[in-house]
């Protein structure tokens, strides 16, 4: 039976969510208005296509009815019954069932595997490998070891990136150096919980399943993705100290140890979110 929330119950939840989003996105919105790019945090709004205004919309998730919520009733995949707005699961599944099944299967497959640690974030290095003539993604920021030093780091390590959406940005020269060749079709077979990009992608799967996913879960995934992105770029070849990102020098033993420690922590936190999202999918899919 659906839970029914009165305005006195759901409106404070909505306000708290909007405040949380406003605080999390304030600097991005300010920079966007001023036309100032940011090589770390813009990723959360450019690579990931969910805009702050969409993130700000509060959704209770499937199985909850909101009394006296006419604005919600007008949103896509919502319906109204006896003055209460709710997510129309049937309409959502009619349009998105393949996506729900894919996300659930991907998350289950990821959870079933051990976390492979020790890639040391070399995917970012492989994206600028052999770019003496240009092509650096964040060209406004210097490579802290220079081009030659960056290339030496790539050549002296084993590159083993299993995430297609990272691998597809490798330079042509770096692609043959990767020990695996992930594709979109092999994503379910290759995703593993130690991957930083896989951890960030939990946020993507949450917003792609809007509005069946409760907004608190989507924001928890956003916050984790933001933290992971910080590690991702601290371990990258760029010198971002001017922005407050002290480098993790993965070319050293100390840097490697720090990277693996943080990578393990993030994989555990991402797995907790994966389980919560699987529960959402299982709640609405036919048994």
Cα radius of gyration (the chain): 21
Please tell me the pTM assigned to this model: 0.95
DSSP letter, residue 3: E
State mean pLDDT over 267-274.
Answer: 98
Res. 209 pLDDT band, cuts 50 70 90: very high
Question: How far, in Å, are 10, 111, 122 from residue 235 at the CA level?
Answer: 41, 25, 8
pLDDT tens digits for range 13-48: 999 999 999 999 999 999 989 888 899 999 999 999
Residue 68 — left, alpha, or beta (φ > 0 → left; ψ -120 to 50 → alpha)? left
Which residues are registered as beta bridge partners of 82?
none
Stretch 179-193: mean pLDDT, rounded?
Answer: 94
Are 244 and 166 contacting, i.e. CB atoms less than 8 angstroms apart? no
Question: Does the pLDDT of residue 1 top 80, yes or no?
Answer: no
State the pLDDT at residue 91: 97
Share of the chain above pLDDT 90, in %: 91
- Domain range list for the chain: 3-117+184-284
Contact between residue 52 and residue 17 where contact means Cβ atoms under 8 Å apart: no
Q: Is residue 192 predicted with pLDDT exceeding 90? A: yes
DSSP 8-state secondary structure symbol assigned to residue 244: T
Looking at the predicted structure, is the pLDDT value of residue 153 above 60? yes
pLDDT at 140: 80
d(CA 75, CA 66): 13
**How big is the chain, counted in residues?**
287
Query: For 35-134, where are the alpha helices, taking DSSP H only?
Result: 43-46, 52-56, 70-73, 89-111, 122-126
Tell me the mean pLDDT in the region 230-246. Answer: 96
Tell me, letter by letter, the H, E, C secondary structure of 169-212. CCCCCCHHHECCCCCHHHHHHHCCCCCHHHHHHHHHHHHHCCCC
When the pLDDT of each residue in the chain is averaged and rounded to a whole number, the result is 94
Whether the per-residue pLDDT at 158 is higher than 80: the answer is yes
Instruction: Tell me the average pLDDT across 180-205.
Output: 96
Confidence of residue 11 (pLDDT cuts 50, 70, 90): very high
Calculate mean pLDDT across residues 174-179. 95
pLDDT at 134 over 70: no
Does residue 103 surpass a pLDDT of 80?
yes
pLDDT in tens, 39-51: 999 999 999 989 9
Residue 286 is predicted with a pLDDT of: 85
Cβ(233)–Cβ(240) below 8 Å = yes
Nearest by Cα to 232 from 152, 156, 127, 148: 127
Taking the C-alpha atoms of residue 169 and residue 175, their distance in angstroms, rounded to an integer, is 9
Q: What is the token pair recorded at 177? A: 């150096």
- Lowest-confidence region among 81-85, 258-262, 267-271: 81-85
């Amino acid at each position: 039976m659906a839970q029914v929330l009165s305005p006195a119950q759901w409106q404070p939840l909505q306000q708290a969510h909007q405040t949380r989003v406003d605080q999390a996105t304030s600097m991005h919105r300010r920079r966007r208005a001023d036309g100032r790019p940011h090589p770390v945090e813009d990723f959360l709004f450019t690579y990931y296509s969910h805009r702050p205004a969409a993130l700000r919309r509060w959704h209770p998730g499937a199985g909850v009815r909101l009394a006296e919520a006419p604005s919600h009733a007008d949103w896509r995949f919502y319906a109204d019954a006896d003055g209460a707005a709710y997510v129309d699961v049937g309409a959502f599944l009619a349009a998105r069932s393949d996506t729900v099944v894919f996300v659930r299967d991907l998350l289950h497959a990821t959870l079933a595997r051990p976390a492979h640690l020790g890639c040391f974030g070399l995917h970012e290095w492989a994206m600028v490998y052999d770019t003496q003539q240009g092509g650096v993604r964040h060209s406004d920021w210097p490579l802290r070891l220079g081009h030659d030093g960056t290339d030496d780091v790539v050549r002296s390590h084993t590159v083993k990136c299993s995430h297609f959406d990272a691998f597809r940005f490798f330079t042509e020269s770096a692609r043959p150096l990767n020990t695996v060749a992930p594709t979109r079709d092999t994503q379910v077979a290759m995703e593993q919980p130690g991957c930083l990009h896989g951890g960030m992608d939990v946020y993507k799967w949450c917003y792609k399943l809007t509005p069946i996913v409760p907004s608190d879960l989507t924001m928890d995934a956003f916050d984790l993705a933001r933290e992971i992105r910080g590690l991702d770029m601290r371990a990258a070849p760029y010198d971002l100290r001017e922005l407050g990102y002290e480098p993790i020098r993965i070319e050293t033993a100390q840097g490697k140890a720090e990277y693996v420690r943080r990578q393990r922590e993030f994989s555990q936190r991402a797995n907790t979110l994966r389980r919560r999202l699987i529960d959402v999918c299982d709640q609405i899919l036919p048994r």
